[in-house]
């Protein structure tokens, strides 16, 4: 019982970190606010966001394999697959902004150039898309935890 509570706490903490850092990216990634400090900060915030995403994944798998319900319960439920699918979609969407932030940071260091406003707007759209998909993942989780979607 204690292990289950600790795993739940770690998973929720990782999810909260993920939400904080995608929100930070959304707040910072604005064409009208772009300056050298923001470019550097976006790179750092995105790196922490990636670490938080890995923590969400690791703690989620820990709950599947070490939790009281057991892996059979989770893998046999379509809601887990929906959660993982959304998580993978968010991860795939995050690749483009991450690459842009790294490129912007390199350009800033080499030439002092800031990204073009249109490129910032495109990156922000992708960050916002992630931020709008993420809340549906815990929605699937609460139904999964209450037995919805289980076979039988």
- Enumerate residues 6+ apart whose C-beta is below 8 A from 23: 131
Tokens (6 digits) for 82: 């929906």
- Return the half-sphere exposure (C-beta side, CA atoms, 13 A cut-off) of residue 135: 5
* Domain boundaries, given as residue ranges, for the chain: 2-145
User: For residue range 69-102, what is the model confidence (pLDDT) as tens digits?
Assistant: 889 999 999 999 999 999 999 999 999 999 999 9
For range 22-45, the mean pLDDT: 97
* pLDDT computed for residue 26 by the predictor: 97
Q: How confident is the model at residue 150 (pLDDT cuts 50, 70, 90)?
A: confident
Answer positive or negative: Cα dihedral of 100, 105, 111, 112.
Answer: positive
Overall average pLDDT of the 110-137 stretch: 98
Mean pLDDT of the chain: 96
Distance, CA of 16 to CA of 14 (rounded, Å): 5
Chain segment 35-56, per-residue pLDDT in tens:
999 999 999 999 999 999 999 9
How would residue 152 be classed by pLDDT, with cut points 50, 70 and 90?
low
Question: CA 140 to CA 142: how far, in whole Å?
Answer: 6
Check: pTM over 0.75? Answer yes or no.
yes
Say what the pLDDT of residue 1 is: 77
Q: What percent of the chain has pLDDT over 70?
A: 99
Q: Which stretch of DSSP H or E encloses residue 53?
A: helix 36-66
- pLDDT, residue 33, reads 93
* Confidence check: pLDDT of 149 > 90: no
C-beta separation of 26 from 128 below 8 A: yes
Residue 26 CA, distance from chain mean position: 12
- The answer on pLDDT for 104 being more than 90 is yes
Reference 110, options 42, 36, 53; nearest CA is 36
In the three-class reduction of DSSP (H, G, I as helix; E, B as strand; rest coil), residue 27 is classed as helix
């Amino acid at each position: 019982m204690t292990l289950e509570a600790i795993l739940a706490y770690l998973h929720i903490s990782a999810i909260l970190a993920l939400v904080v850092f995608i929100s930070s990216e959304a707040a910072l990634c604005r064409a009208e606010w772009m300056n050298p400090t923001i470019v550097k900060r976006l790179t750092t915030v995105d790196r922490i966001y990636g670490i938080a995403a890995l923590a969400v994944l690791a703690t989620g798998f820990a709950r599947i394999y070490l939790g009281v319900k057991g892996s059979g319960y989770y893998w046999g439920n379509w809601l887990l697959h929906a959660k993982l699918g959304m998580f993978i979609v968010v991860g795939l969407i995050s690749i483009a902004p991450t690459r842009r932030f790294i490129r912007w940071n390199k350009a800033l260091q080499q030439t002092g150039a800031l990204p073009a406003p249109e490129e910032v707007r495109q990156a922000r759209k992708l960050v916002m898309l992630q931020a709008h998909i993420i809340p549906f993942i815990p929605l699937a989780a609460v139904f999964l935890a209450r037995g919805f979607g289980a076979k039988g």
